[in-house]
């Protein structure tokens, strides 16, 4: 495909604003679910400006949506090599493409390299660990690869009849897909109090990533609230989570850093399950209970005794009861 019309002397002529119009029309087509047309328009834009991060990202998404996975993988790899676009957004797309191509060994190697170099952002760790665990199981022959989804025209549901592990993997892939055909089903899961809270949080994060401003109902743990996903804070960047972490740091980080790490991991897992809700008590009280509970888990009798007086009041006993309830809920093992 040429990059413009040729004049007599071979000079390439570009119409003013052409690549901007191609990008705009390509994104509009993608939002309408016209992935193939989108990829054709964005390919033209890419040929005009191959190092434009917006064009590259949109093109990869359109190629992914139109199941042109090999081409999408090539563009993604070029973006990573050239430093085009947000690095971890590109890595995320790259991993999803590799999963579609069943290149699970490369998924494992890529994520392990990121963890070895300690480059994974705090808020991405859980997501990458789940992908790593799944691909390791496939590589070792301990997990079946979910069958390829039917085309959107044939689909009435993407989650019904699937195991929790399969549902989790499918929802993770929706971050880079057009979610409009599945919006009704996703919202139904959010308002189902019997749905797994881990899956509900993943769905809510997908809607937030897509900038959905329409209000949805979330029902979990006997609570119900109407929220606008686009306005929600990241689960690990909320004031509550930050303040509890700071209080845990004050309690444990200097005296027992290993216990601090375990308490923080416990808090992260529970905060993810609760999202968008939080525990209602003061962060300092919540931190004391987490420290006390973790000390009991690891038989630190001295610390447990030191904190005992702080968790004897009625509020703290309520937190302890909720913490034990959350700990009984297992995250999907993918």
Alpha helix segments (H runs only) across the chain: 18-31, 35-48, 53-65, 69-82, 87-100, 104-116, 125-139, 164-173, 183-190, 197-209, 239-248, 257-274, 283-297, 301-308, 314-327
pLDDT of residue 12: 44
What mean pLDDT is reported for the chain?
Answer: 82
Span of 18-27, 157-166, 183-192, 203-212 with lowest mean pLDDT: 157-166
Q: What is the pLDDT of residues 152-170, one digit of tens each?
A: 434 447 888 788 888 888 8
Contact in structure between 93 and 126 (CB atoms under 8 Å): no
Q: Judge if 35 and 112 occupy the same domain.
A: yes
Does the pLDDT value for residue 246 go beyond 90? yes
Q: Which two tokens stand for residue 60?
A: 């990869």
In the predicted model, what is the mean pLDDT of residues 204-209?
A: 91
| Domain harbouring 105, CATH code | 1.25.40.10
Q: Judge if 300 and 263 occupy the same domain.
A: yes
Q: Say which residue the tokens 């302890």 belong to.
A: 320
Does the pLDDT value for residue 11 go beyond 50? no
Q: Judge if 52 and 34 occupy the same domain.
A: yes
Which of 112-126, 160-174, 234-248 is most confident? 234-248
Show which of 231, 247, 275 is a domain's final residue.
231
Q: Kindly state whether residue 295 falls inside one of the protein's structural domains.
A: yes
Q: What is the count of structural domains for the chain?
A: 3
Burial class (CB in 10 A: 0-12, 13-18, 19+), 63: buried
pLDDT of residue 333: 59
Whole-angstrom distance, CA of residue 97 vs CA of residue 78: 14
Q: Kindly state whether residue 60 falls inside one of the protein's structural domains.
A: yes
Q: Judge if 226 and 266 occupy the same domain.
A: no
Q: Judge if 203 and 262 occupy the same domain.
A: no
In the predicted model, what is the mean pLDDT of residues 33-50?
A: 88
Q: Kindly state whether residue 290 falls inside one of the protein's structural domains.
A: yes
Q: What is the pLDDT of residues 140-151, one digit of tens each?
A: 875 555 544 444
Does the pLDDT value for residue 44 go beyond 50? yes
Does the pLDDT value for residue 129 go beyond 80? yes
Can you list the pairs that 301-307 forms with residues at least 24 positions away whose Cβ atoms lie under 8 Å? Answer: 303/255, 303/256, 303/259, 307/251
Show which of 81, 116, 139 is a domain's final residue.
139
Contact in structure between 80 and 94 (CB atoms under 8 Å): yes
pLDDT of residue 243: 93
Does the pLDDT value for residue 73 go beyond 70? yes
Q: Judge if 311 and 266 occupy the same domain.
A: yes
For residues 264 and 315, the model is more confident at 264
Q: Kindly state whether residue 7 falls inside one of the protein's structural domains.
A: no
Q: Kindly state whether residue 144 falls inside one of the protein's structural domains.
A: no
Q: Cα–Cα distances in Å, from 322 out to 267, 278, 307, 318? A: 12, 11, 18, 6
In the predicted model, what is the mean pLDDT of residues 78-95?
A: 89
pLDDT of residue 4: 41
Q: Kindly state whether residue 124 falls inside one of the protein's structural domains.
A: yes
Report the 3 state secondary structure along 204-254.
HHHHHHCCCCCCEEEEECCEEEEECHHHCCCCCCCHHHHHHHHHHHHHHHC
Q: Judge if 247 and 221 occupy the same domain.
A: no
Q: Kindly state whether residue 161 falls inside one of the protein's structural domains.
A: no
> Domain containing 269: what range?
239-327
Residue partners of 149: CB distance under 8 A and separation at least 6: 155, 158, 170
| Domain harbouring 291, CATH code | 1.10.472
For residues 89 and 5, the model is more confident at 89
Span of 68-82, 169-183, 205-219, 233-247 with lowest mean pLDDT: 169-183
Does the pLDDT value for residue 276 go beyond 90? yes
Span of 67-76, 81-90, 152-161, 203-212 with lowest mean pLDDT: 152-161
Q: Judge if 188 and 289 occupy the same domain.
A: no
Helices 104-116 and 87-100 pack at an angle, to 10 degrees, of 150
Show which of 182, 204, 231 is a domain's final residue.
231
Q: Judge if 129 and 198 occupy the same domain.
A: no
Q: Which two tokens stand for residue 203?
A: 């769905």
Q: Judge if 181 and 255 occupy the same domain.
A: no
pLDDT of residue 15: 62
Q: Judge if 61 and 36 occupy the same domain.
A: yes
Q: Kindly state whether residue 9 falls inside one of the protein's structural domains.
A: no
Q: Judge if 62 and 92 occupy the same domain.
A: yes
């Amino acid at each position: 495909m040429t990059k413009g019309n040729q004049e007599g002397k071979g000079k390439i002529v570009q119409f003013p604003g052409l690549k901007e119009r191609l990008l705009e029309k390509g994104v509009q087509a993608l939002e309408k679910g016209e992935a193939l047309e989108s990829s054709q328009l964005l390919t033209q834009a890419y040929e005009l400006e191959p190092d434009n991060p917006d064009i590259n990202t949109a093109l990869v998404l359109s190629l992914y949506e139109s199941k042109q996975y090999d081409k999408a993988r090539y563009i993604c790899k070029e973006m990573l090599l050239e430093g085009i676009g947000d690095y971890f957004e590109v890595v995320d797309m790259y991993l999803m493409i590799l999963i579609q191509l069943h290149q699970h060994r490369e998924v494992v190697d890529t994520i392990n390299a990121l963890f070895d170099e300690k480059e994974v952002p705090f808020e991405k760790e859980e997501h990458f660990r789940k992908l790593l665990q799944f691909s390791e199981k496939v590589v070792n022959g301990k997990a079946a690869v979910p069958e390829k989804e039917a085309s959107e025209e044939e689909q009435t549901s993407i989650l019904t009849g699937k195991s929790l592990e399969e549902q989790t993997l499918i929802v993770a892939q929706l971050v880079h897909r057009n979610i409009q055909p599945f919006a009704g089903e996703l919202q139904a899961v959010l308002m189902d109090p019997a749905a797994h809270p881990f899956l509900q949080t993943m769905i809510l994060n997908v809607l937030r990533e897509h900038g959905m401003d329409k209000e949805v109902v979330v029902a979990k743990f006997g609570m119900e609230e109407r929220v606008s996903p686009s306005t929600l804070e990241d689960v690990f960047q909320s004031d509550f989570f930050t303040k509890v972490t700071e209080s845990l740091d004050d309690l444990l980080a200097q005296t027992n850093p290993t216990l601090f790490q375990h308490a923080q991991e416990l808090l992260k897992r529970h905060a993810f399950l609760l999202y968008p809700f939080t525990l209602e008590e003061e962060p300092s009280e919540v931190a004391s209970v987490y420290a006390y509970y973790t000390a009991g888990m690891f038989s630190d009798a001295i610390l447990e005794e030191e904190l005992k007086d702080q968790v004897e009041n009625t509020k703290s006993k309520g937190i302890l009861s909720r913490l034990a309830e959350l700990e009984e809920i297992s995250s999907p093992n993918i």
